Structure 1
Amino acid sequence: MIPMSLKKIASITNGELYGKNITIHHISINSKKIVPNTLFIALKGDKFDGNVFIEEAIKKGCCAVITNQKIISFISYIIVENTTIALGQIANSLRNTIQPKILAITGSCGKTSVKEMTASILQKKNNIIYTMNNENNHIGVPITLLKLKEIDKYGLIELGANNPGDIRYISNISEPNVALINNIYHSHLAGFKSLLGISKEKSEIFSYLKKNSIVIINLDSHHLSQWKKKIKNKKIFYFSIEKKKQAIFLLLILRFIHIKHVLSCIHQLEK
């Protein structure tokens, strides 16, 4: 990530800074992974509380802390209302400071494979960051974006969801330039109850698209009609397996037109 002052981070997160306004170069949510000039964010969830690891993070050498409560410490710290939201706010700020092209991928299945294949292609000629393993949730996506450096041209972000609202939240953080819904099939029904519920959730990837964005859609997906309003006036590319006959027919037409154009050019040159 690019260096940030604690004063700026406090402004981004609507937090209150206690102590000196120093510059940090790294952010970690793991007290065991602390290097010099690291800001430790004490995340708090239903089954864990990062505040209990603040002392360990300080002993490891962190230079500042983000927490949701006052602490007794000789190092600087920022108090915010919600540390998880603060993590996302910092990541979004960095994303908009560096301005890489963000490619976001979601779907019921296969999204990790598509992400890995796309990453292998892009990184051959560009500096990129991308979500590692299955870090595709409200914590993993911000952590991925925090890896952005000024030289990075692309960010490849996988978006996963177990409950309604998940995709919308991480789409707001990543603000995609290109959004792909790989497919809509029976998966995670426990959280969404039906295919319609899954389709509505996945379509939230379109909620925070950047200007002049591109949408890529699988025509074989269920409930495509639910997406019409959200993708209106967007540049859209389609792909399909079930409708491959139509796709092949279109490809043959385009190829025929291309061949005719080439032959015409050759004919003009021979004159």
Structure 2
Amino acid sequence: MAASDQLLVVIDPVARRDDGESVRIAKDVLSAGAAVKVCLPDSPDEFDRALARRGSRRPVVVGDDRALLRAVTALHRQRELADCAVSLVPVGGALALARSLGVPTGAVAAARAVLDGAERRLDLLVDDSDGVVLGDLRIPPVSGDERVVPADSASPWLRTCRSLVRTLAARPARTAPAPGPGPARLRVEADGVTLVDLDQPVRAVSVAPGAAGGACVEIRPASVGAEAAPVRAVARTITVSGADFRYRADALTSGPVRTRTWTVRQRAWGLTLPGGD
């Protein structure tokens, strides 16, 4: 049997808990078309070790956007990302990244794409702390993103305790909602060229892998009166610095940091998708 017909199916614990039926369907379809070894990690460390020990098997992740990000991050840090294509069967509620990448979101269609699809090489953003970005990043995070944490970091007893604490701490809803993030003072550099400096407050900065090995940068300056036109650029290296800031990369919010540099790695990772490249 060819190595391409041998799969390591890593099933995220959140997917197993939240949608066991979709997980079962995915396993059945994959097992009918390939030699499958199933791994059921209960922690991020077990998840990473499973990928490190996969041998010649193709890795297939059954889970949501965070599970995909965890797999790509692990393979990147193991310096094995260039040598294998990652496959995803999306299961869970956070699937915006999967949709944007072109992965079918139905369990049957996604599993069939794993078996019959083709590898597509995609660009990757890598930061100076060895973190990766598959889709896009935003500064500051969209309102409410700071509360998002990896779901498997909270065990059932901890979620119960948190629920109890929230109940005991409840108060009549008399205060107004907290305002969204205000303008930030940041220096944004694209390939060494300063696009906006600390003297110009900005509402938002977004960066996403683009075409031909460059990242698309968009800066929305803060303004009084008429809305200022956004500043756009395409660059291979983007550095953001200034006062402590948080940023959302794919499904996770990180920070605060004072400076961060992202570099485009062209065609750095492969994703199995329906059809050809």
Could you say whether these structures have the same fold, taking a TM-score greater than 0.5 normalized by the shorter chain as the test?
Answer: no
If you compute each CA radius of gyration, which structure gives the higher value, 1 or 2?
Answer: 1
Q: TM-score, normalised by structure 2?
A: 0.26
Task: Choose between structure 1 and 2: higher helix proportion.
Answer: 1
Higher relative contact order (CA closer than 8 Å, sequence separation 6+): 2
